[in-house]
Amino acid sequence: MEQEERHHPRLQLHPPSCSSHPAATRDLPIPRPPPKPPTNNIPIPPSPSPHLPITPTSSPSSKPTSPPPNLTPQSLIKFLRSNLRHHPLFAHHDFAVFNWASTLDAFRHDHDSFLWMSRSLAATHRFSDLRRLLSFVAANPCPCASGIFSCPKLEPLFRSAIDSYCRAGKMDHALSGFDTMKRLIDGKVNVGVYNTVLNGYVKARDMDKALKFYKRMWKERVKLDVCTFNILMNGFEKSLALTWRVVNVFQEHGTP
């Protein structure tokens, strides 16, 4: 045994002391901090869209897969008034929903839905859509209109649209709506609608067209009232030459 130990001495392993090798620790590299994860490539989740209990779908421009049951003009007006009219994101989609409803086989607009949509478009100054609506009304009569007589609510509907056009100074649209209404309704147009168009020309300071429309009223045998002449006099009061033209017309046709 002593001979084996003499030929194979025991090895004693001791961990190196930091204090005994200061140069070794000084030469060790300082570990780098781990890189920060990139933040610009992290997808930001979209903000959830506000929940709107709309029957066709939340996007009125897309046609639903199945029509809602028992849709009537009254229920459509109620939905548009309560769900869309004051909604900050979907209010301008009311006309799209209105048009979508007209594509349903079991649905038909009446004078109530026509009038509500007309006033909504006029109040929000969507005059191009309002003109499309009037064309749609002319091509799709109200259900209460028989084969002989037209709907009695056509004149108030068109009068509301014509008044909005005149207030906005869009007299070409106003005259087009007036001519369409005159062609659709039964009997003569109320003098108040004529006065609305006449006053629109006066407000637009287009006195030549105002006088021309006034002469048209005489040719169509409209029963003029005091309001008609007051509108003309208010328009011509600042122009002496045009005032004499009105006086000559009054002398020619008479006054009420």
pLDDT of residue 48: 46
Q: Tell me how many domains the chain contains.
A: 2
Pull the structure tokens for residue 158.
């068109």
User: Is 56 a member of any domain?
Assistant: no
User: Is 238 a member of any domain?
Assistant: yes
Pull the structure tokens for residue 103.
């594509």
| Shared domain check, 182 and 77 | yes
User: Is 57 a member of any domain?
Assistant: no
| Shared domain check, 209 and 169 | no
pLDDT of residue 185: 87
The pTM score is: 0.65
* Upper half-sphere CA count for residue 201 (Cβ side, 13 Å): 21
Report the distance separating Cα 18 and Cα 230, nearest Å. 111
Reference 141, options 76, 185, 96; nearest CA is 185
- List of the chain residues with pLDDT < 50: 1-2, 4-5, 11, 13, 18-20, 24-25, 42, 45, 47-67
Domain extent for 112: 69-187
Q: In this structure, are residues 137 and 114 in contact, taking their beta carbons and an 8 Å threshold?
A: yes
Q: In this structure, are residues 61 and 86 in contact, taking their beta carbons and an 8 Å threshold?
A: no
38-84 pLDDT, tens per residue? Answer: 555 545 545 444 444 444 444 444 443 344 568 898 988 888 888 77
Q: Which of 158, 187, 216 is the last residue of a domain?
A: 187
Cβ atoms within 10 Å, residue 181 = 21
User: Is 39 a member of any domain?
Assistant: no
User: Is 25 a member of any domain?
Assistant: no
| Shared domain check, 143 and 95 | yes
